[in-house]
Structure 1
Amino acid sequence: MGFKWYRAGLPKLTVTALAGILLLTGCSADRYLMVPKTDLNELQGSIKSQRATLVTMENNAAVRHEQAIAQNRSSTQTILDAIATQVEKPECPPVQAQKQCPTIDDSKGRADRLKGKVIVGEVENFYLAGPGLIYKARIDSGAETSSIDARNITRFERDGNNWVRFDVPVPGADKFVTLEKEISRRVRVIQASADEAERRVVVELQFFIGDHQQVAEFTLADRTNLTYEVLIGRNILRDVMLVDVGKEYATELPESIRNNNGNES
């Protein structure tokens, strides 16, 4: 019987002990986890106060930063103003007036020169004084004597001297002008297309090329089948003109001559 009591009473003691332990544990947990409401309100108020303090500090720092920048700018400007009053401004040297190129007086004609020699192109306007005619002249440094187109060449004697009468064509018109000149000499000319030498009469003629005028010898020859009425050779070019083979009409006749002739290019 005693054994039965032990077995029956053991569960009762165990249940009672466990209930007591749980009761004690619950009381202990409630005492440590619960915070009084007054303390919680004070904690929240402290947090809000700290946040407000941080915002104020940030605003004050931003204001002080802007003030420092403004002060630095003011100090820098003060230094620059002081330097400006002490340093003299540089003065630029006066600008010299540019020399204007002299205007070309076309009324007197034009001819560029190099070391005193007239620069001419392969083709130039040639003014024959006397009849007042303008021809196209080919400049040929390979020809010894200059030549002009002449027709109806007739020799005659005047006052014991040998003279020649010949006709020169009027450019752009189917007519001629008759000239009479004293013969300077005669020359023998060999043409590439002829087997025998041809004797030609040489006369002196006054002419203009650009503003250059000269009296020189010309042979009289029929140049009907040639492109140019006048050929300028070495007897004129020598010591007087330089040929620029890359140009044509490098010179210009005087305005008075051009106005009286309508056949110039």
Structure 2
Amino acid sequence: MKTTVFLLLASLLLTGCGAVGYLRVPEADLQRLDARIQEQDERLERLSQDQADTRVSQLTSYREMIDRLYAIGAKQEEMIQRQREWEDFIRSTRLQLSNLEEERLEEQQDRLETVTGDKQVVGSVEKVYLSPPGAVLSARIDTGATTSSLDAQEMEFFERNGDPWVRFTVVNPEDESRIVLERKVVRNVRIIQAVVDEAERRPVVELGVTVGKTTQTAQFTLSDRRHLEHPVLIGRNILMDIMVVDVSQSFIAPPRLPADLSGANGTP
């Protein structure tokens, strides 16, 4: 548009130069004007080209960004698919392990039944019922101990009808109640400990005890077991010939409480 205006102006000036009163423009000025017009055109063309290049660059960048977003979306979908496959694998593996564990336990139980026959199977720790005092206590099962043991506190020795007796206190862990018992001393044992030079003399009494489905009268040594985790220790005198210990398990033979046990009230 500007170029056309300049050309019309130059034409009028050239054609009208012969008329009286008109100004005649020198040729050099016209050439300079034409050069400036051409320079302006070139600048406009370069600007237009730069704008076109900028638009192409922006479009290219936009397309690259879209392609990257599509690639990121594809990778995320692939990661989600892999995660789902991994979760399915874990669930399948856990199910297989669970089935294997059940089979192993069944095989172990079959072996125990084959070995034990009619014997009671007990774990390394069991709940036992003692009568007296008529309470359920936690017991450690120890095949290395000859005689069973009971936590007895505040022991007092006395005679009754010429026989040695002992009065002691048993703490019921269920309600922390203290039960005072009196039992006849059937014998005494001497216990030698590494930390004590002299042997310790402990009384032995008879109590009713139920372990699992088995109820019997057994001997217990009385001692202060407050520093130990379990107030009762079941030894070979109760286990022998009627029970088998599975040390890998605990609390598998809860006591089947008898309807009545003689001496449950703590009297002879």
- Provide TM-score, normalisation by structure 2: 0.51
Deviation at 1:120, TM superposition (A): 0.7
Match of residue 225, structure 1, among 224, 227, 248: 227
The one-letter code matched in structure 2 to 1:190 is: I
User: Structure 1 256/118 Cα, relative in aligned 2: closer, same or farther at 3 Å?
Assistant: closer
Deviation at 1:116, TM superposition (A): 2.7
Deviation at 1:162, TM superposition (A): 1.1
Aligned to 1:250, the other structure's residue is in SS state coil
Whether the aligned pair in 2 keeps the contact of 1:155 and 1:163 (CA below 8 Å) is yes
- Residues 106-146 of structure 1: CA distance to partner in whole angstroms, max 9, x if unpaired? xxxxxx99233211100011111233211110001111111
The one-letter code matched in structure 2 to 1:146 is: S
The one-letter code matched in structure 1 to 2:236 is: R
Name the counterpart of 1:204.
206
Q: What is the number of equivalent residue pairs in this alignment?
A: 147
Give the whole-Å Cα distance in 2 for the aligned partners of 1:256 and 1:206.
10
Aligned to 1:125, the other structure's residue is in SS state strand
The one-letter code matched in structure 2 to 1:236 is: I
Name the counterpart of 1:123.
125
Whether the aligned pair in 2 keeps the contact of 1:113 and 1:119 (CA below 8 Å) is no
Give the whole-Å Cα distance in 2 for the aligned partners of 1:145 and 1:256.
23
| Mapping 1:226-241, distance limit 5 Å | 226-241=228-243
Whether the aligned pair in 2 keeps the contact of 1:210 and 1:252 (CA below 8 Å) is yes
User: Structure 1 255/146 Cα, relative in aligned 2: closer, same or farther at 3 Å?
Assistant: closer
Whether the aligned pair in 2 keeps the contact of 1:188 and 1:199 (CA below 8 Å) is yes
- Provide TM-score, normalisation by structure 1: 0.52
Deviation at 1:189, TM superposition (A): 1.0
Aligned to 1:235, the other structure's residue is in SS state helix
- Residues 24-51 of structure 1: CA distance to partner in whole angstroms, max 9, x if unpaired? xxxxxxxxxxxxxxxxxxxxxxxxxxxx
User: Superposition RMSD on alpha carbons, in Å?
Assistant: 2.2
Deviation at 1:256, TM superposition (A): 7.9
Structure with greater helix share of residues: 2
The one-letter code matched in structure 1 to 2:130 is: L
> Percent identity between the aligned chains?
48
Give the whole-Å Cα distance in 1 for the aligned partners of 2:129 and 2:147.
18
Aligned to 2:186, the other structure's residue is in SS state strand
Whether the aligned pair in 1 keeps the contact of 2:129 and 2:257 (CA below 8 Å) is no
Give the whole-Å Cα distance in 2 for the aligned partners of 1:226 and 1:186.
22
Unaligned runs of 5+ in 1: 1-111, 258-265
Whether the aligned pair in 1 keeps the contact of 2:127 and 2:211 (CA below 8 Å) is yes
Match of residue 145, structure 1, among 135, 144, 147: 147
Give the whole-Å Cα distance in 2 for the aligned partners of 1:192 and 1:121.
29
Whether the aligned pair in 1 keeps the contact of 2:147 and 2:220 (CA below 8 Å) is yes
Whether the aligned pair in 2 keeps the contact of 1:186 and 1:199 (CA below 8 Å) is yes
